[in-house]
A and B are shown apart, each in its own frame.
Chain A
Amino acid sequence: MTPLPRDFWQGFRAGAPFILVIVPFGAVFGVVATEAGLNIAQVMGFSVLVIAGAAQFVALQMMVENAPVLIVLAAALAVNLRMAMYSAALAPHMGRVAWWKRGLVSYVMVDQVYAASTLAYEQRPEMTPAQKLAYFIGVAAPVVPLWYLATWAGAALGANIPAGLPIDFAVPITFLALIVPMLRSAAHVVAALVSIIGVLVFAFLPFNLGLLVAALLAMMAGAEVERQITRRRAP
């Protein structure tokens, strides 16, 4: 096989296992968003235009709580700030490919695609920017279409779920499944604890602003702990 299709299919194989995460996550979003009162066009609008599960759940939760539009946007975009970090991390690898290709990479930049691709780039530093691009799109190829499909299936199913079931709790369960693996260092644990304590301490603030204050403090705490640990390790 010529190099580029080969890189694409290698990426595809690396992305395939994520189907197991994407499908339940997308379906839960479809169900919960439909239960919250969104119509199917709005539910699909979220998954196609925003294409970021965690931020979609945050926006939905705050919409259910009747937060003002600007506060909903601020909280959901805060969740997606990490995408700017991914963008910065990918720039040395693909910063010089054609602008429309960078535009496409940006659209399919989700956690799993970013993580799997950068892992491959570290293991095979000899890859050219074109190969890296083919690999990245390859990882996204099984993930992104199934994200749409799973959301649609969840939305179609959501209307038939009987009332009284604790379906609201699908969101915390899905988030916990994402958060626990993030706690990979003392700094991450400290950030999570500051976030939890902060949101309780600042619960008196209106419009869910307490969440944003808590997140800001948690980011600073995590960054500071990491800085201290790195400094202590340095000779």
Chain B
Amino acid sequence: MTLFFQNKTNRIWCLAVAGLLIFNVWNIVSNTPMVPDQHWAQKIFYVHVPSAWVGFLSYLVVMIAGIMFFIKGDDKWDDVGLAAAEIGTLFMALVLITGPIWATPIWGKPWIWEPRLTTTLILFLIYIGYFMMRSFGGHIERIRRYAAAVGIIAFVDVPIIFVSVQFWVPEIQSHPQVEMAQQPSGILIPFLLSLGIFTILYILMMRYRIHVIRIKNMGVENV
């Protein structure tokens, strides 16, 4: 199996995504309007929300990969699940970092038990457990099955966690309850662009990570 960057198409993909990311930063900084009362803090919204989208999308992929692994019994689905779990957790960590950065000037404190942030934190902790299990859980065949099960259980738990936290602290509604369709085009278009670029980045990261995991697995099998 060749290395990922030995393939010309992959190199072009990588350069294109890097270009898109640079364009995205420039677009956010230069072409988006300043929101009254929030100023520069609001700019983080163009990174925070797409990161959350990619994180949850990734965890959905983990669940689908888990179901497919159980149905098909093919290890390829475990590779997909592992890659999605790693990338999802990376983006969830970004959400948990950018959220407090935005919240500190706006709410006056870095953390409140807002339903979406809390759900993200709980999911993040579940996935820390997921990686601990994968790292020192024991026999690889069993761990693949357990990992698939945890991926399914974690995603099934998401709506329950969200609803519980929402009712737990109903007075906390400080998170911007925005209807994106009602936003002026100056905000909406750069936001959608950022969302699209993050999704493309996610696809590239998934392809790369699955490739690396398969090479690693081949090495393990040949030992």
Real binding pair: no
